[in-house]
Structure 1
Amino acid sequence: MQSPTYLHDLLVSTIFTEGLDAEMSLWALGFSAMWIKGADLDALAGTFHLDLATRTPCYLSEILDHAIDDESRWVAEVNGWIGIVPAHGHGEFLRSVTEGGRQALGLHMDINYNAYFDYARDGRTVVSFDPLSPESRMRSGDDPHALDHLMNGLRFQISDDDVLDNPVEDPESISSALALIGRFTETDIATDWFLAQHSRIRPTC
């Protein structure tokens, strides 16, 4: 049986390879990712300033060094979805990417320990919440309960009256957000995305 923090831990171990500070974390670095459906890579190249002529095979475990060197992004295509890391997965930019009937999921974490999960469609936010505190009263968007049917068995809250004997810490909340993305995209976040070879693409000059 997998640990409830499995996807968070896998993401951390994939991005932060040997030789980096043992205290480094997704929060210290700042992590952002976006998954987009309804557009091909040619259509997204301008939006994300991607020079498609520089496309090179790459694992997610290799992208941090390349991103530091030349601001490359990791770009993956699975099951009709395009995943991009880093890609600002929150707010107006995410909404703008979905104009014209597209869909997008975004996960964003910053150095101030703020986290955001967003689902947008056709230029509008359908649902947005903090994975560390996704109670109904904290959700926003046109349909705050649009993804409830996919959340069965996932735990997000850091603390709540019904989990005091088994509290949910932030790695489990982030794992749950990643699992939710996998369920929505009908893909395996671990094998299809984090561990598979995809591409790195440098920015346009």
Structure 2
Amino acid sequence: PELGRIAFIATTLVGLAPVAAKALRLIRSGTPFAIETLMSVAAIGALFIGATAEAAMVLLLFMVGELLESYAANRARRGVKALMELVPEDALLLQGTERKRVPVASLRPGDVIEIAPGGRLPADAELLNPFASFDESALTGESVPVERQRGEKVAAGSLSVDQAAQMKVISEPGKNAIDRILQLIEEAEERRAPIERFLDRFSRYYTPAIMLLAVAVILVPPLLFSQPW
């Protein structure tokens, strides 16, 4: 039992260090009642009353939640990075009988470009060939290549599967399908969900109220009713 108690105390102290440090930083920045503050107070209080297992468990569950949140955020960032890498940096521009490599940022609607087999489309474009197949799985999740006919629109990031495809650019720089998806992701990250705003407002009152209640439970019985400490 004694070794177990020591192990729980050591585990709590190791887990408490980063949580308490973040709580102190938030207090200095004007956010005294963050969840980290509540977790720190709960763990320290549990240690003082000898509930070492509960102290360790509270911090363990909190840190597991933080790790899961971090994993989800990193996965989303990797997805955004993968989307950005779908658009090549340059394109093969056709001007009469001439062909030259140009930066994707210089493409304008009406420009004619050629996509080699296995190459990705740098902008939204209209197919000029009689037909061609494109792998659009990076955008739609559909693993089977899609056959497009002359005049059909193909989204940026699509991969030409079976032949060199001549395409007419129809999107302005920074306004292709990939850019629109990235913009939607950024807007979704910036906009806070209603439940998140509610929880922030709720925590401003809930956390200090719980802390005051805990202090009252400690002080009121012995001071007013002669109960033992």
Higher strand fraction (1 or 2): 1
TM-score range for the pair, normalised by the shorter chain length? under 0.3
* Largest Rg, 1 or 2: 2
TM-score of the aligned structures, taking structure 1 as reference length: 0.21
